[in-house]
Amino acid sequence: MAPLLEIKDLHTEIRLRRSTVHAIDGVNLTVEPGECLGIVGESGCGKTMTALSVMRLLPNGGHITGGSIVLDGQDITNLDDEAMQDVRGNLVGMIFQDPMTSLNPTMTIGDQIAESVRLHRGADKQAGLERAVEVLGLVGMPKPAERIGNFPHQLSGGMRQRVMIAMALACEPKLLIADEPTTALDVTIQKQILELLDNLRQRLGMAVILVTHDLGVIAGRADRVAVMYAGRVVETTDTTTLFANPRHPYTQALFEALPDKIVEPAGVAKRLYNIPGQPPDLTSPPQGCKFAARCRYAQDSCRETEPDLTYDVALHEYRCFFPVGEAALDAPAQDADAPTVAAAEAEAEAEATEGAVPVLATAPSVAGDGATPNGTLLKVEHLIKDFPVTAGAILQRRVGSVSAVADVSFEVPRGKTFGMVGESGCGKTTIGRLIVGLEKANAGSITFDGQDLAKLSNRGRRQHSGKIQLMFQDSYASMDPRMRVATILREPLVIQKQGSRRDQEKRIAAIMNEVGLPQAALERYPHEFSGGQRQRLGLARALVLRPSMIVADEPVSALDVSIQAQILNLMLDLQKDNGLTYLFISHDLSVVRYLSDIIGVMYLGKLVEVGPADDVYFGPVHPYTKGLIDTVPVADPLLERAKESQGVMGELPSAVAPPSGCRFRTRCPLAQDICAEQEPPLRPFTAKGHLAACHFPLREPEADAGAPAVAEKTTASGGQ
């Protein structure tokens, strides 16, 4: 059978004012009918440009300069505009990353879906809307007939993405291109949308191109994968082979940079593989292999000539002179006993830091009496924060309140990392802001280093604010773009009146070293830095005042895998060298698990489970934690396909009127009547401080679990 889509030697350029970006440089791809092809790579590698080339929807200045794209037997690079309009939305549909901005805000969703039916099928308004109702039902929109009159802003993010999918599918295209379809969504919604796409693909027999940066998403969904780097496909093969036996050094490096692959227990020093440097500038691509500058196996010959596509067995292609992995296909067995570079590094690391390894042994109780050798640095008790909901433009009447944090207690031992996970809107960011003092709690106490923060004098508070620092997801947005880095870093010292100017400059120079930035960078402005460097700057600024604790709110969420690994490694190094304590807030469970000693799981303002990282990750007690773990995609096709559970169903309820009793009950598969009547207390399940709040936990508490004070207190205050 002829392939549905055959891209041959595609070249796409984007002409800018002064230069030309060679965005796609000789890409070859095929998609069979009904197949799901995954395209992965870091930002700027050309994966989205490939998708947009197929749609011929390139941004301003973009042109296809060579090669052919044969879709269903016709070369679409030669089609005139009108013929191309017949292809778009009809033969091939596309869904985009951000469902909020990708829908027309002033048009009802019914009209938007009906539009393509009317364009391609000549349907009248009525028939178009009928078809809209039909496809909305197909994509799982509840009560579609009532929904077609809605505007996009009246729907949740997940529902909007369903509308996008319905729109792309309305004319039953043979090919669906999904460009990062779930990146803007929460993990639980991500799972639901991916399931839906899979399901629709099978039912409608269409082919899908899934473009994503997330190897986990690819692992569970794609039949074949193309890995892109610097505008080229560097490796293609079926998904199982790629994950088991990557042949291109870039693919291999990507896997090793992923925290999911780390098998050592939490708390043990381990390092992710660092891909040094950044992808090349595509306005003047380097000669020879484009990955050479970052490749650990590069030889002189790599820099001179570009490797051609090599065929391993049929259908496993890669561009490398010195491929890694095994030529034969019995690779998985080999993989297990041949230590990778990362593993070797991790071993060396472990030896070097012998003393720091048995972390959990020195912290027998994470939420107990705090009588650890290191002691408790931060203690949060019965923290409550409500945000008023107001109505009216001038007279802000209070019409209700959002229960953002509802009676949360936990402790963070000195020098350890507490990882806080949960969906967006669960209150994890608010907790971070309360701890650094950006927000005032309605009730409860925060004790830091033995001092109750609420009882501090103004001076004490100023000193305190130096000891706990906040690091943001987007450090760049929090920096004054007109200040040089030196000024930005010195500012906290000046405000806190610490040391002479010379001392301050010395301190800054030392910090730059610690975070791995050159001294010359001090004279530059924030916009001159890349994403990863900006996060280094963010860390540098947080460290200037020598804090004992850093609250890091999604510090790596906006970064590419290779850069994420650099920052996570850096954070671990800094912790080791300075004895830092982290509160690491993230939606990404695998990153949290990699970095944390203790994990706390938040749901709608409640801490539902907390305990030593591996206990929580490998033996969750709360149904929500279990659902979350099943929901997060792992970069392992075998594991991913073996998953049976559906993950967490439904959407997060409103925190204005949270469900009575257990707040998770509206989405819990195990919920009983009592869950609606009585709030489950946080109670211990092991003697090591593994607590969870559930009436019907996934397993019973161990006999010697005991009942630490926290649980009793929670019982007393809970249940309203």
Partner 1 sequence: MIAFFVRRLLQAVVVILLVTMITFALLRAIPGNVAIAILGPTAYRNPATIAQFDATYGFNKPWFDQYFLWLGHLAQGNLGYSWKLNQSVASLLGNRLPKTVILVGISTIIALIVAIPIGVYQAVRRNKAADYTFTALSFLFYAAPTFFVGTVMILVFADELHLFGPEGPQGGLVSDFTDWKDLTLPVVTLALVTFALFSRYMRSSTLDNITEDYVRTARAKGASERRVLIRHVLRNSLIPIATLVGLNIPLIVSGALITESVFNYPGMGYLFFQAAQQQDYPTLLGVLIVVAIATVIGSLVADIAYAVLDPRVRYVSS
Edge-to-edge strand list for the sheet holding 175-179: 92-95, 175-179, 207-212, 36-40, 224-229, 232-238, 317-318, 310-311
Site pattern 646..665 for ligand SF4 (x: CB under 6 A): ----------------x-xx
Q: Which is nearer to partner 1, 168 or 272 (CB)?
A: 168
The two structure tokens encoding residue 538: 């963010």
**Looking only at residues 622 through 641 of this chain, which bind ligand SF4 when binding is defined by CB under 6 A?**
622-623
Q: Which is nearer to ligand SF4, 479 or 671 (CB)?
A: 671
- Tell me the sheet residues that pair with 398: 390
- In the list 109, 129, 155, 167, the residue contacting partner 1 (rule: CB under 8 A) is 167
Which letter does DSSP use for residue 355 in this model?
Answer: G
64/54 Cα distance (integer angstroms) = 10
The two structure tokens encoding residue 419: 């990882």
Residue 106 interacts, among ligand SF4, partner 1, none and using kind-specific CB cut-offs from 5 to 8 Å, with partner 1
Q: Which is nearer to ligand SF4, 299 or 654 (CB)?
A: 299
CA 498 to chain centre: 37
Is 685 a residue that touches ligand SF4 (CB under 6 A)? no
Residue 322 interacts, among ligand SF4, partner 1, none and using kind-specific CB cut-offs from 5 to 8 Å, with ligand SF4
Coil, strand or helix at 54? helix
- To partner 1, the closest distance from the beta carbon of 103 in angstroms equals 6
Is 89 a residue that touches partner 1 (CB under 8 A)? yes
46/13 Cα distance (integer angstroms) = 11
106/122 Cα distance (integer angstroms) = 23
The two structure tokens encoding residue 697: 């936990």
CB 561 within 8 A of CB 258: yes
The two structure tokens encoding residue 270: 């381990």
CB 416 within 8 A of CB 581: yes
Reference 621, options 668, 669, 691, 673; nearest CA is 691
Is 128 a residue that touches ligand SF4 (CB under 6 A)? no
- In the list 333, 338, 391, 510, the residue contacting partner 1 (rule: CB under 8 A) is 391
Is 102 a residue that touches partner 1 (CB under 8 A)? yes
Is 224 a residue that touches ligand SF4 (CB under 6 A)? no
Q: Is residue 159 classed exposed, middle or buried when 0-12, 13-18 and 19+ CB atoms within 10 A define those classes?
A: buried
**Strand boundaries in 45-133, DSSP class E:** 62-71, 74-75, 92-95
- In the list 107, 327, 329, 716, the residue contacting partner 1 (rule: CB under 8 A) is 107
Residue 391 interacts, among ligand SF4, partner 1, none and using kind-specific CB cut-offs from 5 to 8 Å, with partner 1
Alpha helix (H) residue ranges in 496-530: 501-514
CB 538 within 8 A of CB 526: no
Q: Which is nearer to ligand SF4, 178 or 675 (CB)?
A: 675
- In the list 74, 104, 199, 645, the residue contacting partner 1 (rule: CB under 8 A) is 104
Is 668 a residue that touches ligand SF4 (CB under 6 A)? yes
Residue 189 interacts, among ligand SF4, partner 1, none and using kind-specific CB cut-offs from 5 to 8 Å, with none
- To ligand SF4, the closest distance from the beta carbon of 231 in angstroms equals 14
Site pattern 179..218 for ligand SF4 (x: CB under 6 A): ----------------------------------------
- In the list 695, 705, 711, 714, the residue contacting ligand SF4 (rule: CB under 6 A) is 695
Residue 82 interacts, among partner 1, ligand SF4, none and using kind-specific CB cut-offs from 5 to 8 Å, with partner 1
| Amino acid (1-letter code) at residue 299 | Q
**Looking only at residues 554 through 573 of this chain, which bind ligand SF4 when binding is defined by CB under 6 A?**
none
**Looking only at residues 56 through 75 of this chain, which bind partner 1 when binding is defined by CB under 8 A?**
57
- In the list 249, 547, 620, 637, the residue contacting ligand SF4 (rule: CB under 6 A) is 249
Is 302 a residue that touches ligand SF4 (CB under 6 A)? yes
448/427 Cα distance (integer angstroms) = 20
- In the list 66, 84, 297, 357, the residue contacting ligand SF4 (rule: CB under 6 A) is 297
Is 110 a residue that touches partner 1 (CB under 8 A)? no
CA 172 to chain centre: 31
- To ligand SF4, the closest distance from the beta carbon of 253 in angstroms equals 9
232/286 Cα distance (integer angstroms) = 13
Residue 559 interacts, among partner 1, ligand SF4, none and using kind-specific CB cut-offs from 5 to 8 Å, with none
Q: What is the DSSP string of 245-282?
A: ---SHHHHHHHHT-GGG--SPTTS---PPP--S-PPPT
Reference 634, options 650, 622, 647; nearest CA is 647
The contact set with ligand SF4 (CB under 6 A) reads 249, 289, 291-292, 295, 297-298, 302, 307, 320-322, 622-623, 662, 664-665, 668, 670-671, 675, 680, 694-696
The contact set with partner 1 (CB under 8 A) reads 55, 57, 81-82, 85-90, 93-94, 96, 98, 101-107, 115-116, 119-120, 151, 153-154, 164, 167-168, 391-394
